[in-house]
Amino acid sequence: MILFSVRWAIRLMALCLVLIVGYLGVTGVQVWLTSREQSSATADAILVMGSAEYNGTPSPDLAARLDQALSLYAAKRAPLIAVTGGKEVGDTHTEAGVSAAWLEARGVPAASIVVGSGSDSYQNVASVAPSLKARGVTSLLVVTDPFHEDRAMAIASTFGFAPSPTPTEHSPLRGSGTFSYFLKETVAVAAGRIIGYGTLSNADHPTTTTVGAPSPDRLHLGLHLSGVV
C-alpha cells in the first residue's frame, strides 16, 4: 500500500513538472513573438517604460526608447507621451524627469508630456495611469525593449488600457545577449498571469512609494533584474 502511494505521488509530481514546463514554454514563445511585433496603429498616448539615467543624461537603453517614442510622436501616431521611472537614493534626477527634458529639447511641448515615476514596471504604469485616464486616454503605444514588451503590455492592460506593441528598434541590447532577459521575462509573465502583476510588485517593494523610486528596468544595463517584478 505504501509503495502504491509512493508511485502515485511520483506520477503526480511528474505530471505537475510537465505542466509547469509546458506553461513556461508556451509563455516563453508568446514573449518572444510579442518582441517581434511592431504595430502600425495609432493611439491616444505613447507609454515609455523607465530605464536608467546618468546624472541627467539618458542611458543608451533609455535613449533608444525615447528615440522610438519621438519617432512615433513625429509621425502623429499619438498626441501624448507618458514617461516613467524614478531615481536611485542620492540621485539628483528621476528617469521620467530626464526623459521629459530630453523630449522637450527635441520639440515636444511640455503640455504633451505626462511625467510619472515608479520603482518597477507595474509602478511605472501606475504612476501615469490616473493622469492619462483624466485626459481620456484608453489606448497606448507601449515603448520598451523587445523582450520586455509582452509584460509591459500586460501590465498596461491591467489598468484598463488597450496597448499596442511598439518596441525599440535600435536597442543596445540585442542578439544572444538578450537570452537571459527573455528567460527572466518568461518567468515574470508566467507568475504575473497567475498571482497578478500588482502582487509581484508589492512583494518586491512592500514599503516602497511610487514617487521618486528607481525603475528596476536598470536591469537592461546589467545592474539588476527589474524584469521579474
Q: Is residue 184 part of a domain?
A: yes
CA 216 to chain centre: 10
Q: What is the CATH number of the domain that holds 174?
A: 3.40.50
Confidence check: pLDDT of 113 > 80:
yes
Confidence check: pLDDT of 219 > 80:
no
Categorize the per-residue pLDDT at 206 as very low, low, confident or very high, splitting at 50, 70 and 90. low
Write out pLDDT tens, residues 143-201. 999 999 999 999 999 999 999 999 999 999 888 889 999 999 999 999 999 999 999 99
Looking at the 3D structure of the chain, how many domains does it have? 1
Categorize the per-residue pLDDT at 130 as very low, low, confident or very high, splitting at 50, 70 and 90. very high
Q: Is residue 203 part of a domain?
A: yes
Could you give the angle at which helices 121-134 and 149-158 cross, rounded to 10 degrees?
50
Provide the pLDDT for residue 229: 42
Ranges assigned E (strand) in the chain:
45-48, 53-54, 57-58, 81-83, 113-115, 139-143, 162-165
Q: Is residue 16 part of a domain?
A: no
Confidence check: pLDDT of 204 > 80:
no
Q: Is residue 149 part of a domain?
A: yes
pTM of the predicted model as reported, rounded to 2 decimal places: 0.86
Q: Is residue 82 part of a domain?
A: yes
Q: Is residue 18 part of a domain?
A: no
Q: Is residue 28 part of a domain?
A: no
Pairing of the two strands 53-54 and 57-58: antiparallel
Q: Is residue 186 part of a domain?
A: yes
Provide the pLDDT for residue 4: 63
Residues ≥6 apart with Cβ < 8 Å to 228: 184, 187, 188, 191, 200, 204
Q: What range defines the domain where residue 151 resides?
A: 45-221
